[in-house]
Amino acid sequence: MDWFFAPLLETLSHPALLQAFGVALALAGVAAVFYLKGRSQRAARKRLLKGTPRDRIAGGGAITAARKGQQIDALVVSLGARALARDPTNSKSLRTRLRRAGYFSKSTFAYFIALRVVTTFVVAGGFYLGALAIGHPALDPLVATMSGLAFGYVAPGLFLNRRINRFQTEHRNGFPDVMDLMVVCVQAGLSLEAGIQKIGEELAHGYPSLSRHLELTSLELRNGKSLSQAIEALADRLGIDEASSFATLLHQSEQLGASISDSLRAFSDDMRNKRLMRAEEKAYALPTKLVIPLTLFVFPVLLVVLLLPVAIAVSTASA
């Protein structure tokens, strides 16, 4: 067996492969640290779910963590301000995406830029070391490095888009409930400002992200923003058409002097019907999606089970 183990040991003892393994081990350690930190923050968020609105908006304990690193945050904010001054259009778009992903801190923009730079060079270095370790003629280290640069640059944006899509799905599913509770609050005699605060507290368990956005809107109303401005800011943060339609509805109701209660009731029925239509659309698309797994995995097994006994009987009879 020396013909097998000797080349294998020689390949595994390659310096470039050992370096790549060390980099991978370091990245795994960093990922484990971030995972454990995120797990502790999620546990703290659950414990502080019934705390003050500011604690829930911050995500549970983020305010205390921010106070411990005020100097770092000040440096990061200054770097973010420089990047914002260089390219205000793209920076504004990125800040909007970060808010939709649930990151409200001013220093998040600069942290995201720093993360993109780090991941770009780390992934590019990993791809380069991996290409040297493999040593295949068709795998050019320069091409691998360029691929690593592209993937490392795009990876944080892909993670951000995935987080935004997950939150937008939650917001879209929970918005009809928000409108139903809004109708109940208005009919009970509460104002829209008090209703938004009450709904944010009620939805803290079922839709935590939507609850944080509503409580942030409540804080904006307390700080002097008008109702239409606060709802428009809410629609911009949520990034769904339902919230934009709600902001337009309130604006038109204020201009035309229509009854807000009747408008909210009609809008709530429309939101509920849209949610039902989305569920029916997914149910109707299910048979089409099942065609591929049935064709690849179920039908071949059925053919083998049905035809194998016949083939055995025919071969036995001919023998």
The predicted-structure confidence for 220-245, as pLDDT tens digits, reads as follows: 888 888 888 888 888 888 888 888 88
Place of tokens 């923050």: 41
d(CA 203, CA 212): 9
Determine the pLDDT at residue 34: 62
Percent of the chain at pLDDT > 90 equals 3
Determine the pLDDT at residue 102: 84
Residue 48 confidence (pLDDT) above 60: no
Six-digit token pair at 245? 């339609």
Region 234-257: what's the mean pLDDT? 85
d(CA 61, CA 229): 29
Determine the pLDDT at residue 202: 87
Place of tokens 């993109």: 116
Residue 13: strand, helix, or coil: coil
CB 240 within 8 A of CB 175: yes
Is the model more confident about 141 or about 159? 159
The CATH architecture of the domain made up of 170-280 is Up-down Bundle (1.20)
Give the pLDDT confidence of 285-306 residue by residue, as tens digits.
888 888 888 888 888 888 888 8
Amino acid code (one letter) for 55: D
Q: Would you place residue 37 in the very low, low, confident or very high pLDDT band (cuts 50, 70, 90)?
A: low
Determine the pLDDT at residue 197: 87
d(CA 59, CA 65): 11
d(CA 119, CA 150): 10
Determine the pLDDT at residue 60: 42
Size of the chain in residues = 319
Delimit the domains of the chain by residue range: 13-166, 170-280
d(CA 205, CA 39): 18
Task: Annotate 89-108 with DSSP letters as a single string.
Answer: HHHHHHHHHHHHTT---TTH
Determine the pLDDT at residue 164: 92
Determine the pLDDT at residue 137: 67
Contacts 24+ apart (CB under 8 A), 158-161: 160/97, 160/98, 160/101, 160/112, 161/97
